Amino acid sequence: MSAHLLDGKTLSQTIRSQLKERFAELAAQHGITPTLAILRVGDDSAAAGYARAIERTCTGVGAHFKPVVLPADSDQASVAAALDGLNNDATVHGIMILEPLPDTIDSNILVDRLNPAKDVDGVHPVNAGRLSAQRPPYFVPATPAGAIRMLEEAGVEFKGKEAVVIGRSDIVGKPMALLLLHRHCTVTLAHSRTHDLPAVARRADILCAAVGRPEMIKADWIKPGAIVVDFGTTYTDDGLKGDCDQAGVAAVAGMMTPVPGGTGPMTNVMLMQNLLEAYGGAVKR
């Protein structure tokens, strides 16, 4: 058996083209260009790199990108003031708070202060709670939203499937588990302390790996013919690696997302989808 590899790069390009057309239509209709602001504190290289990637994506769909970068020695009050400015700026439709933040900054306080209607990252408790309760409107974190879109485009039937999500982060594991549950899967949310994790994984018709440990999941963890979603993105001396041993897992699975080229390219286009929805909500208000 050799797994069918889902092409996130091609799908993301298709979605990007559709979003570009829609953004242009809305901008022409309302005279306002959708704008995404990022709030970054300090000079962390990974955060700076992510900001540049988001800027490229915004440019590609015709959205404005507004960076707000504060010094690393900024205090909580000054960062909160900058966030308040974005919350109250009618020309800004989406806001992201980039991590990591300096140790002196409490990220939870900032997230609670974020305007939920501009929370295109889906991290505010209001959006997380509405997702959990399945009570729209809410924003879904972009990475799991992209994975679900890939599976839907591939014609995956969710109802009645047993799904296992390994990883319980607020931005990938937990929302992915909820999205699968809302599609009538029976879901197990597993993690590093789960007893006999390989045996739990082998039960899965749909296995989602979001642990951040390169090539942790081996072929003998996989139910033959299973659908495997690999969210891992760890840079090693041998290049970018996912959470799965790709060659081994692909020999057992029926379908899987590769690394690179799987869920990664989908993340920023789904962020743009959230921005489009935030813009639409602002126009209606």
Considering the domain architecture, whether residues 226 and 165 belong to the same structural domain is answered as yes
Q: What single DSSP character describes residue 121?
A: T
Q: b/e for 141-161, b at 16 or more Cβ within 10 A?
A: bbbbbbbbbbbeeeebebeeb
The pLDDT value recorded for residue 97 is 98
Q: From CA 2, how far away is CA 51, in angstroms rounded?
A: 36
Q: Give the chain's residues under pLDDT 50.
A: none
| Residue 86 forms part of a structural domain | yes
Could you tell me if 227 and 152 lie in one domain? yes
Query: Does residue 272 lie within any of the structural domains?
Result: no
C-alpha dist (Å) from residue 27 to 19, 35, 238: 12, 11, 44
260 & 168 share domain: yes
In this structure, are 157 and 233 located in the same domain? Answer: yes
Residue count of the chain: 285
- My answer on whether 108 and 147 are in the same domain is no
Residues 162 and 58 in one domain: no
Instruction: Taking each helix axis as running N to C, give the angle between helix 45-61 and helix 263-284, from 0 to 180 degrees, rounded to the nearest 10.
Output: 60
State whether 44 and 87 are in the same domain.
Answer: yes
**How many domains does the structure of the chain reveal?**
2
* The pLDDT value given to residue 6: 98
Q: For residues 268 and 58, what is the distance between their CA atoms, to the nearest angstrom? A: 9
Question: Mind listing the pLDDT tens digit for each residue in 224-282?
Answer: 999 999 999 998 888 999 999 999 999 999 999 999 999 999 999 999 999 999 998 76
Whether 153 and 235 share a structural domain: yes
> pTM to 2 decimals?
0.95
Position 192 scores a pLDDT of: 87
- Any domain includes 122: no
The pLDDT score that the predictor gives to residue 238 is 87
State both tokens at 233: 């993105």
Predicted local distance difference test score (pLDDT) of residue 52: 96
- Name the residue range of residue 161's domain: 142-264
User: Which of 117, 133, 152 finishes a domain?
Assistant: 117
* 45, part of any domain: yes
What the block records as the tokens of 23 is 């953004």
88 with 179, same domain: the answer is: no
Q: Could you say which of 117, 151, 166 is where a domain stops?
A: 117
104 and 153: one domain? no
pLDDT tens string 199-219: 999 999 999 999 999 999 999
Is 223 within the bounds of a domain? yes
Token pair in block for residue 131: 């997702």
How far is it, in rounded angstroms, from Cα 277 to Cα 228?
A: 29
